[in-house]
Amino acid sequence: MGKLRDTRWLLATGYRYLRTGRHGAATNDKERDAALAALMQVYQARPDLQEVYPEAAGGDLARLINWAAGVAYGRWKDSSHGMLRPYAGTYHMLPSVPPEQAPAPWSTVANTSRASANPLAATLRVMEARESADISNHLMLLSLLIREFDLKQIVELGTRDGNSTMALLESARAVGGHVTSVDVEPCLHARRRVENAGLLQTWTFIQANDMELEPPQIPARMDFLFIDTSHLYAPTLAELKKYSAYLQPGAWIALHDYVSFPGVNRAVQDFVQLEGGKFRFYAFMHQNGLALLRKPLRD
């Protein structure tokens, strides 16, 4: 990290940040100045904080203030507790964000991916794009399943703009697999994205009602089923019942929007119960939710 700016600049920048923060005038100016001065003194004396919160050197104090509040209240042990404790209430009232809201290190991730045995350039581009924010954090998990479990016959129900499609296709190509996507809409934008990424040879797109399809239009033996369709209870349960009949032993099912749509989580519950507890179940509760099911290795 470059040389830290002087304390006066940091205080002025931090003060402007706090004045325009979402909590408004939570404390008076004198209290804010004292709390900031103490925090900046700690920050400038500690290389570890400068490494963890580099944005604070430029005046973005949101994550650093979150840390300061935790230390001041004694939620975790830290050598700076004594200095920050008098300002605990002030830090608590000031605008802050939790550590997980740190800016994603996309350039580092991309460089690491390029140097790895499983480069995922297309998937990372989709993950970084704002328009994929409803599913982006799940795409790497989908890629992991395909690559690490060597899932070759993949069926995607629900394509829309092709965010999940791109991740499925890139990993499928790496294992010599194929993706069959089904949607009631023509999904022209998704088709253009797939073509531009050079992934058409790995893909079959079918515009149809997925409940009306049968082999050979869809694979008779599937390794991975991804469902992101109506999100309604009855259609989702019907899709699970119909397509699970084509799953090979050890195959996986993933359902997006498991949290944000009650119909999806109810359908998953009832399907698992109907199957007599044979399927393994994993629930991911972030970013609208993702449910994973795995068919037993032996029928």
Q: Is the dihedral of CA 295, 243, 182, 132 positive or negative?
A: negative
Instruction: Please identify, among 101, 130, 151, the residue that sits at the C-terminal boundary of a domain.
Output: 101
Instruction: Please indicate, yes or no, whether residues 166 and 278 belong to a single structural domain of this protein.
Output: yes
What predicted TM-score, i.e. pTM, was given to this entire model? 0.81
Q: Are residues 146 and 50 in the same domain?
A: no
Predicted local confidence at residue 38, as pLDDT: 96
Helix axes 62-72, 29-45, angle to 10 degrees: 90
Assigned domain for 299 exists: no
Does any domain span residue 2?
Answer: no
Do 127 and 188 lie in one domain? The reply is yes
- Whole domain around residue 222: which residue ranges? 106-294
Mark whether 137 and 248 lie in a shared domain.
yes
Residue at 204 is within a domain: yes
H or E stretch at 63 = helix 62-72
Q: What's residue 5's pLDDT?
A: 55
User: Which H, E and C letters describe 101-143, residue by residue?
Assistant: HCCCCHHHHHHHHHHCCCCCHHHHHHHHCHHHCCCHHHHHHHH
Tally of domains in the chain? 2
Residues 253, 141 share a domain? yes
Both 52 and 181 in one domain: the answer is no
CATH of residue 176: 3.40.50.150
pLDDT given at position 14: 52
Is 245 within the bounds of a domain? yes
Residues 216 and 255 in one domain: yes
**Chain center to CA of 186:** 27
Same domain, 149 and 276: yes
Assess if residue 282 is contained within a domain.
yes
Angstrom distances, CA of residue 91 to CA of 23, 32, 82, 216: 12, 9, 14, 63
- The tokens for 211 are 């409940």
Domain stop point among 67, 101, 135? 101
Q: Let me know whether 121 and 265 are in one domain.
A: yes
Residue at 187 is within a domain:
yes
Are residues 151 and 64 part of one domain?
no
Do 134 and 196 share a structural domain? yes
Cβ within 8 Å of residue 27, ≥6 positions away: 35, 89, 90, 93, 94
pLDDT tens for the 299 residues of the chain, in order: 444 555 555 555 554 555 444 444 445 889 999 999 999 999 999 999 999 888 899 999 999 999 999 999 999 899 999 999 999 999 999 998 887 777 889 999 999 999 999 999 999 999 999 899 999 999 999 999 999 999 999 999 999 999 999 999 999 999 999 999 999 999 999 999 999 999 999 999 999 999 999 999 999 999 999 999 999 999 999 999 999 999 999 999 999 999 999 999 999 999 999 999 999 999 999 999 999 999 999 86
My answer on whether 249 and 183 are in the same domain is: yes
Residue 81 counted as domain residue: yes
pLDDT of 76: 84
**What one-character DSSP code corresponds to residue 23?**
T
- Boundary of a domain, candidates 55, 72, 101: 101
CA gap 120, 128 in Å, rounded: 12
Q: How far apart are CA 64 and CA 37, in angstroms?
A: 13
Rounded distance between C-alpha atoms, residue 149 and residue 111, angstroms: 25
- Residue 11 within a domain: yes
